[in-house]
Structure 1
Amino acid sequence: MGSIATYLVLSLPQSTNAHEWLAQELVGGKSPLYKIKLPDFQSGTLDSLVQESDELVKLDQQLSSSVAKVIDILATVTESDSSSRIVNSKPATDFIQNFTWNTTKYRLDKPINQLVKLISDEALALDNDVRVSYQSYQTAKSNFLAADRKKNGDLSIKSLHEIVRPEQFVLDSEHLTTILIAVPKSLTSDFDNSYETLTQFVIPRSATVIATDSEFSLYTVTLFKKYQSEFIAAAREHKWHPRNDFVYSEETLNNLRKEFDLTKATESKAKNDLIRLAKTAYSDIFASWLHIKAVRVYVESVLRYGLPPQFDYYFIKFEGANAKNLSKAKKELIDKFGFLGGDGFSSTSNLHEYASLVDTEYEPFVLYEIDVV
């Protein structure tokens, strides 16, 4: 699944005065730049931030996967395009570019660890709801397809409730029974010439064709009940297909007629419920993901640059033909701001004492990606 757009999430100390260079010089000014204002959070101790950093890495990845999974489900169920990417009634890209912290839902008088738990619990509960709903839909779809095969398969497997009529059967007889045989068209001559002699007490000339399709002719044959099992076994040896799964019963026929309609209605309802839930979940999980990303950027910035928090936050957009500039942009950023990591930024000797504990793939500034898939 390709990305609609990719954003670099960048945090730099305000002392770098980076805005003009990012807007005009980075990849020739081809990538739109969005400056984002994040609130000041209740930071707590640096030790607590290091612990929270580990948790935020996991949650960031988890919610990213959740968003992608919801889109995958919507694409599977609706064959939809990017029109599904709606967050808070606006395109996901607009939500990113105009991101503001939702202070109504996530009050800033709470410490960071409580905010993270509140945001993630809501999002992961929704993720689970979507998975359960998707499984229910898959079950309903499987049941409907089975019913559809019964209705629309060939005469050797399909349900016969729309084909047979009571007058085609010997009913309420103590000794006689009527059975159905689906005979491949290439074997109808063999059937006509031999069915009467497969067992004793087959009623002569009782075979009647009651339906045909492109592959089979469906016959009724009347014989004594005592020899039914023997006849069926012999028919299979001739490579005919006895439909001994079918017994004429008005109650059974009525139930079979209802089965298709019921499974179709159940599948349709499960599908509509899933689509509604998945679209809501995409919006809410995506919004939660952006809030987790915002907290992560803040925490990492404190651990990189120290307190008080004096950082600028940016989203840099790459899409369409400009997407190929993503790697180039990262290189230019490192060339421009690598000094933040000290002499040879791959060494952590000149960094804050906690920096080496933060990211396994270390860069001289806070930099992440957001893929809108």
Structure 2
Amino acid sequence: MSTSDPLGEYLILSLPQSTNARKWLTESLNTGKQPLFNLKIPDFQSGTLDSLVQESEELAKIDQQLSASVSKVVDILNSVTDGSSTRVVQSRSVFDYIENFQWNTSKYRLDKSINILVKLIASEAISLDNDVRASYQNYQTAKSNFLAADRKKNGDLSIKSLHEIVKPEQFVLNSEHLTTILIAVPNNLVSDFKNSYETLTQFVIPRSAEVIAKDQEYTLYTVTLFKKFQQEFINLSREHKWHPRNDFIYSEETLNNLRKEFDLTKANELKSKNDLIRLSKTAYSEIFSQWVHIKCIRIYVESVLRYGLPPQFDNYLIKFQGANLKNISKAKKELIEKFGYLGGAGYSNTSNLHEYASLVDTDYEPFVLYEFEII
């Protein structure tokens, strides 16, 4: 489930047409405060009851899978847009899409069996879900590369890129025996450095330490010594809690590449982010639409299994939003009180079962009812 707060929620209710439930739902449920909409579900190629039982199990899994896909897309959108992205499905608000839902007969033809429709819709949604996950991974990589480049440009002297700081005359270049290394020394250890660097190893050039730059945390020095003792000097520097910048080798080509790195990674991060936002918005629209189509098939299948053939049942959307979200449990209890008789005597009289009451499935509703959270 998404970490975002729900924008609203619906109870999707299917009842036999013989109940004539609309008037009661409109006027009496929660004292008539809940907006009510008809959910238009077409007649499908039902097949056998055995096949519908199998489809029921598969639909439950796919319903949950698409719910998780939508939640994932929402979380991704929120993470890259600071939660400012609106929920649009097929160029309409998500609520308008649900409340005025129409089956997409051009994409999902009703002359196809339920089994084929379910596979088609699910495969499209899963493909989009995979595309979003791959795009998100690309963005995370681009973002990580940019943050690394940003640290190099704007971090302290122990980690930042030095291409805008050092100059060629500060280094011994093209020498067979000598080398110049950079040491970022914590400011509180500068005295220790000055007193000990010359004797840290053999063949350190006396008084070769030169201040190159300074920030709030570190002072950056160059030190010249014989190449033979470079690694030993680096190791002993770390023991003194100095920070050798042995990642830096003076090279004009390297410096030019470093100058470009920040701009390139920033541009790539921005492009990856924009690509991800576009794809995620498209994916939200498409996967949400596919999810609603799967919901409709699931409601139809469960209604046929519950109420029998021919399909003669009405489907409703009961809307909860804002302060009314807390009324869902109350509404479900009222629905059970009103329509509990549909579950038979064994259901409506569970209070009289005494020691056998634990055998009754307390999550079972006497009619077809699903909660549909909008995020």
TM-score range, shorter chain: over 0.9
Deviations along 1:165-192, one digit per CA (max 9) or x if unpaired, are: 1111111222222111111111112222
Does the 8 Å CA contact 2:341/2:348 hold for their aligned counterparts? no
In structure 1, what is the equivalent of residue 353 of structure 2?
A: none
Cα offset for 1:144? 1.7
Question: Do residues 161 (structure 1) and 163 (structure 2) align?
Answer: yes
Deviations along 1:29-78, one digit per CA (max 9) or x if unpaired, are: 11100012221111111111111111111111111111111101111121
1:121-270 equivalences under 5 Å are 121-270=123-272
What is the percentage of aligned positions where both structures have the same residue? 75
Looking at structure 2, the residues matched to 164 and 329 of structure 1 have their Cα atoms a distance apart, in angstroms, of: 72
- The letter for the 2-side match of 1:75 is N
Deviations along 1:157-216, one digit per CA (max 9) or x if unpaired, are: 222112111111111222222111111111112222332233333323221111001011
Cα offset for 1:346? 6.6
Looking at structure 1, the residues matched to 229 and 325 of structure 2 have their Cα atoms a distance apart, in angstroms, of: 75
Question: Do residues 7 (structure 1) and 10 (structure 2) align?
Answer: yes
Question: Do residues 327 (structure 1) and 329 (structure 2) align?
Answer: yes
- The letter for the 1-side match of 2:251 is S
1:81-120 equivalences under 5 Å are 81=84, 83-120=85-122
Match of 1:66 among 55, 66, 69: 69
Cα offset for 1:270? 1.4
Deviations along 1:217-237, one digit per CA (max 9) or x if unpaired, are: 001122232332333233233
Match of 1:372 among 361, 366, 374: 374
Q: Out of 62-71 and 146-155, give the one that drifted further.
A: 146-155
Q: Out of 27-36 and 248-257, give the one that drifted further.
A: 248-257
Q: Out of 258-267 and 37-46, give the one that drifted further.
A: 258-267
Does the 8 Å CA contact 1:346/1:362 hold for their aligned counterparts? no
Does the 8 Å CA contact 2:11/2:318 hold for their aligned counterparts? yes
In structure 2, what is the equivalent of residue 353 of structure 1?
A: none
Looking at structure 2, the residues matched to 40 and 207 of structure 1 have their Cα atoms a distance apart, in angstroms, of: 85
Looking at structure 2, the residues matched to 194 and 209 of structure 1 have their Cα atoms a distance apart, in angstroms, of: 16
Looking at structure 1, the residues matched to 344 and 257 of structure 2 have their Cα atoms a distance apart, in angstroms, of: 78
Deviations along 1:220-266, one digit per CA (max 9) or x if unpaired, are: 12223233233323323332222122110111111222222222222
Structure 1 gaps of 5+ residues are 349-358
In structure 1, what is the equivalent of residue 316 of structure 2?
A: 314
Looking at structure 2, the residues matched to 103 and 186 of structure 1 have their Cα atoms a distance apart, in angstroms, of: 74
In structure 2, what is the equivalent of residue 40 of structure 1?
A: 43
- The letter for the 1-side match of 2:144 is S
Structure 1's consecutive aligned runs of 4 or more residues displaced over 4 angstroms after TM superposition are: none
In structure 2, what is the equivalent of residue 356 of structure 1?
A: none
Looking at structure 2, the residues matched to 319 and 205 of structure 1 have their Cα atoms a distance apart, in angstroms, of: 75
Looking at structure 2, the residues matched to 142 and 237 of structure 1 have their Cα atoms a distance apart, in angstroms, of: 30
In structure 2, what is the equivalent of residue 355 of structure 1?
A: none
Does the 8 Å CA contact 1:41/1:112 hold for their aligned counterparts? yes
Structure 2 gaps of 5+ residues are 351-360
Q: Residue 147 of structure 2 aligns to a residue in which SS?
A: helix
Normalised by the length of structure 1, the TM-score is: 0.93
Q: CA RMSD in A?
A: 1.7
In structure 2, what is the equivalent of residue 31 of structure 1?
A: 34
Looking at structure 1, the residues matched to 243 and 94 of structure 2 have their Cα atoms a distance apart, in angstroms, of: 56
Looking at structure 2, the residues matched to 259 and 135 of structure 1 have their Cα atoms a distance apart, in angstroms, of: 20
Q: How many residues align?
A: 362
Does the 8 Å CA contact 1:346/1:363 hold for their aligned counterparts? no
- The letter for the 1-side match of 2:293 is H
